[in-house]
Amino acid sequence: MKTITFSEALGEAILEEMQRDDTIFTYGEDIAKQGGIFGAYKSLLGKFPNRIFDTPISEEAIYGSALGAALVGMRPMVEFHFSDFLFTGIQSITLQIEKIRYMTGGQGKLHLLLRGPDGVSNSAAAQHSESIETIFMHIPGIKIIIPSTPYDIKGMIKTSLRSDDPIICFEHKSLYSQKGEVPEEEYLIPLGKADIKKEGKDITVVTISRMVHESLKAANELVKDGIDLEIIDLRTLLPWDKETVIKSVQKTNRLIIAHETWRRAGWGAEIASTIQEEAFDSLDAPIIRIGAYNVPMPFSSVLQNFVTPDKQNIITAAKKMMGEM
């Protein structure tokens, strides 16, 4: 094992897959010359000059051209710069990329990966801080991955680049500099399989991305109060690993769902309703959902921290659930 950053693990995955498969090419804004705004392409500077290139600021053209390339057998990987700006190319994604395989009866295979940063950053304000994964979970036709560690990002990107399905990968800005262990040898992580980051007996916490780390921090503090959390990192949001979550809830009999995206109609509601429908008899307490307040992200760092969930929200929910508040 070696210890590298999330960004370095991502760069390794891209490098290894481009060396393995010459149909893979990647493009976006500020990646070929700058190395990406969060450094994911730093290790690729000067490599693959005809397969890594910068684009104009025109998301509709970027995503539309990726669709065309995928339909003729190439494997494009597009960096969307900030997830907020996926909306400026939404027609190519929701009307075409997510529907072509269905509309062609499976003939139009789309070996296509959209990836890039999402989530809160220091005073990035309302247009550069959103977690919008729920929107793409609602519309059928695309897989959604959201890795939380260097190990996960490398294994899941490699799997995604070998897939025949369109995939979108959200990478939280705060994770790019985080370090973790990654094997020296090649490995793949299957999509749709959750990872139990910490086993516990009292409360199941289902989460993704930055909130995995906040949940682990909360678990470390709650041990002092005799509360033992089980932390499940979904890793893939669509399809999500229902079996692992239900099995955990059957053990702990309690469920907290924690995500950074807005609480109102966030993806946590889908998880909660599924458990309510299929594992209600296992619950000893009402399900608690944790998410951001339903407001645009403020510029003020004080207000940003106020509206964004963190470990304290999980600690408070856990104590309430266990009858200590």
- Phi and psi at residue 281, to the nearest 5°: -65, -15
128 part of the active site: yes
Q: Residue 44 to residues 14, 18, 38, 52, 217: CA-CA distances in angstroms?
A: 9, 10, 13, 9, 34
For 295-318, b/e burial (b = at least 16 CB within 10 A) is: eebbeeeeebeebbbbbebbbebb
Structure tokens at 239: 């399809």
Residue 28 CA to residue 57 CA, distance in Å, equals: 9
The Cα–Cα gap between 33 and 18 comes to: 18
Retrieve residue 27's tokens. 């493009």
User: What is the DSSP secondary-structure string of 85-107?
Assistant: GGGGGHHIIIIIITTHHHHTTT-
**Active-site hit among 128, 172, 213, 259:** 128
Which residue bears the tokens 């200590």? 324
Amino acid at 9: A
Please answer whether residues 235 and 195 qualify as being in contact, where contact means their C-beta atoms are separated by less than 8 angstroms. Answer: yes
Q: What tokens were used for 92?
A: 């190519």
- The string of DSSP letters for 260-292 reads EEESTT-HHHHHHHHHHHHSGGG-SS--EEEEE
Separation CA 71–CA 6 (nearest Å): 31
Give dist(CA 322, CA 101) in Å, integer: 47
Catalytic residues: 128
